Structures are given as C-alpha cells and as structure tokens.
Amino acid sequence: MEENVLVTDSEGIRKSDSHVTRRTLYMALGSTFAFILYSVLIFAPAGKCFSVADGSNSLGLTFSYTLQMVQEFFESRSTSQLDCYSEFLLIWDVIFAIIYTSMYSFWILYFFQNRRILLVVPLLGMVADWAENITEILMINSYLDSNSISETLVSVGSGLNMIKWTMSTLTYLILFAGIAIKIKSVMSTSKNQED
C-alpha cells in the first residue's frame, strides 16, 4: 500500500511540473509575441524622429563607441532630433528593455526550470542598458548646453554598452544551450517510446 502512495505522489509531482512547464511556455510565447508587436508597432516608429539617411541611428547598437563617434552622431542631427532621441531613450527604450528581458527570462525559465540563477544574466543586461541610456541622455544634455561632450561620460557609456552586449551574448548562449538540451530530451524521449 505504501508503494502505491509513492507512485501516486510521484505522478502528482510530474503533473504539477508539467502544468508549470506548460504555463511557462505560454508566458514565453506571449512575451515573444509582445516583443514582436512592440518592436514593429511602437519601438521602430518612435525611432524615426531621430533617424538619418547616412550613419548609425543609435549609439547603443555598436559594441563600444568613441568620443569622435558620439560627436559625429550628435552633429548629424538637429536639436529637435536629439530631443527626440533623448525622449526615446528615456521612455521607449526602457520599455523595450523590460519586454526583451521578460521574454528572455521566460524562455530561460522554460528551458532551465531549476536554474533560476541564470536569470541574473538578462537582468544585468537590462540594468546596463538603462544605465547606458542615462549616460547617453547626460551626453545629449551636455552637448546641447555647451556643444561639448565629456570624454569620461563617453567612456562610461561605452563601458556600459560593452557590458550590455556581453550580457546579451551570454543570454543568447544560454538560450541556444536550452534549445539544444530540449531537442536532445525530446529526441531521446521519442526514441525510448519507439523501443
């Protein structure tokens, strides 16, 4: 009789784990859908007000930047475009970071249920992204006020940018490892069922 209780408890745990895994998958898929919608319907249109035909349309898209790159970026834009870029960094890019971090986190939870420590990687990337945004806003304000940019601010912004991209790369490596593990698990399960 005791063995039957253990089997029933074990089945209950498996059903509960399956429910949690399914719910996490739905959250991952939902956050991915939200990421796509936000990127296409809000984020991209909000960035058009500071875009230029030639050159980069965001400092944060390079792995690092120099004082000369920042000056060229600012000089190629009007005051209203820089104000728009500042607003974009303050509002739309902050929301974007929350959405992509949520998406990455739900996928990591789906692939690695028992390794929540891995969530630190995308969270650190988000914090670095926000800190870089603040630094870029300070550079814009300095440029608009005095037509000069502090080399220290550029170095800090560039360093934060490198941290952000390093965390993003680690996040992608974690996700690719999770995908590989999931595929291997599904293949071994189907192979065992065939035998």
Per residue in 94-106, pLDDT (tens digit) is 999 999 999 999 9
Confidence of residue 30 (pLDDT cuts 50, 70, 90): very high
81 to each of 56, 75, 90, 155, how far by Cα in Å? 14, 11, 14, 23
The pLDDT of residue 144 = 95
- List the domain boundaries for the chain: 2-194
Which of 63, 56, 135, 60 shows the shortest CA–CA distance to 93? Answer: 60
State the burial class of residue 4 (Cβ atoms within 10 Å of its Cβ: 0-12, 13-18, 19+).
exposed
Residue 7: band (very low, low, confident or very high) from pLDDT cuts 50, 70, 90:
very low
Mean pLDDT of the region 13-29: 78
Mean pLDDT of 50-63: 84
Q: Residue 57's pLDDT band (boundaries 50, 70, 90)?
A: confident
Considering the chain, what percentage of its residues have pLDDT values greater than 70?
A: 90
Model confidence pLDDT, tens digit, residues 115-173:
999 999 999 999 999 999 999 999 999 999 998 999 999 999 999 999 999 999 999 99
